[in-house]
Structure 1
């Protein structure tokens, strides 16, 4: 197997893992993910199956094939979700050559150039951040997630352990596109005294760190 094939297989696994979130929670409106299929013949794509919650009958399901390459680059899991939401919303006209069937389901071959991807939501960013904190890539981390709470005005409160401070520390963050930087900096930010304040309305932590403008 060459490096390109391995990258596609890794991305197919990553997309599958991410789309598991939408088996019980809707991807959009009343539509849930009812399946994720690796494209046959090692094609650089993934097929996502959408339908109402609990539906299994093929004639009630719709499959979309999303290319995983864009030029020389690979799409991200965020890109795949955005495209799925876009193609399943409103009316889209597909040429005859891009409509087929698979396993009794209608299959649409998506051309991303003809689709305006749906925006990533605050809940999407929050879920991504929480997943990274709950399942860290290394076994030994300097801070670990103990809990969380969605707050008003798009804020997310994280309850964290720290190797520098005893007890649970709360951190208010504004989920967005700088998650990688926030994850890397979070352990040290939890101990910056000038950011801390008493959590007067929250008995679940020792103190509160304000990271909403970080």
Structure 2
């Protein structure tokens, strides 16, 4: 397996572990993540009801790791997986055989080019990045909790060594996530943005980044 493909496969595995306990669509959970044999640029994801372990109740979806010339982001793979289980994309795949006793379905690569993350997917991106940043140091800011207030409004409860109390930070998952997450540590310390929070008993201060 190519090293870059192997790195993507490992990242996908780390993400999809979350969906072994919680359904990602209806009652469908992730029951396994398999590396594709040989040098293929795809991943295989096993899905089924959370109580199912027998091959006849599971399906293996082989999802391409590229959309055109670009590798898919790990969160895009999760969005594709959800799409082929719901809506108009369920027909954009074809059964090609069996593997380990389970039906093997190849997902049409065009699905990956058209599927977009839902607000819930993007909120999950924010939360997971704060909990597991791409560094070996302690996460800054530290995520103490969260509340999904509206489909596109997420409240983060955070603190840092420089803050005296819990900050409630409101963000919109539909915004520029990469820029927001990179700037968050400095934004929440800017005096002009921090205000006392009186309506929410879970925080001492509030920072509104919904229009940042």
Tell me the TM-score normalized by structure 2. Answer: 0.88
Aligned to 1:200: 198
Aligned to 2:187: 189
Aligned to 2:145: 147
| Equivalent residues, number | 209
Measured after TM superposition, the shift of residue 55 of structure 1 is 0.6
Aligned to 1:20: 17
CA distance in 2, matches of 1:59, 1:160: 45
Measured after TM superposition, the shift of residue 16 of structure 1 is 1.0
CA distance in 1, matches of 2:114, 2:129: 24
Q: Secondary structure at the match of 1:51?
A: strand
Measured after TM superposition, the shift of residue 50 of structure 1 is 1.0
CA distance in 1, matches of 2:151, 2:109: 32
Residue 54 in structure 1 maps to residue 51 in structure 2: yes
Q: How does 1:39-188 map to 2 (within 5 A)?
A: 39-89=36-86, 91-92=90-91, 99-113=96-110, 117-138=114-135, 139-140=137-138, 142-188=140-186
Measured after TM superposition, the shift of residue 47 of structure 1 is 0.3
CA distance in 1, matches of 2:160, 2:111: 47
Structure 1 unaligned spans of 5+: none
Deviations 1:17-46 (A, max 9, x none): 111121121111111111110101132110
Q: Is the 8 A contact 1:162 1:169 kept in 2?
A: no
Query: 1:102/1:210 Cα in 2 relative to 1: closer, same or farther (>3 Å)?
Result: same
Query: 1:122/1:30 Cα in 2 relative to 1: closer, same or farther (>3 Å)?
Result: same
* Superposition RMSD in Å: 2.2
Tell me the TM-score normalized by structure 1. Answer: 0.88
Q: Secondary structure at the match of 1:194?
A: coil
Query: 1:121/1:204 Cα in 2 relative to 1: closer, same or farther (>3 Å)?
Result: same
Query: 1:85/1:153 Cα in 2 relative to 1: closer, same or farther (>3 Å)?
Result: closer
Structure 2 unaligned spans of 5+: none
Pick aligned residue for 1:33 from 19, 30, 34: 30
Query: 1:140/1:35 Cα in 2 relative to 1: closer, same or farther (>3 Å)?
Result: closer
Query: 1:140/1:208 Cα in 2 relative to 1: closer, same or farther (>3 Å)?
Result: same
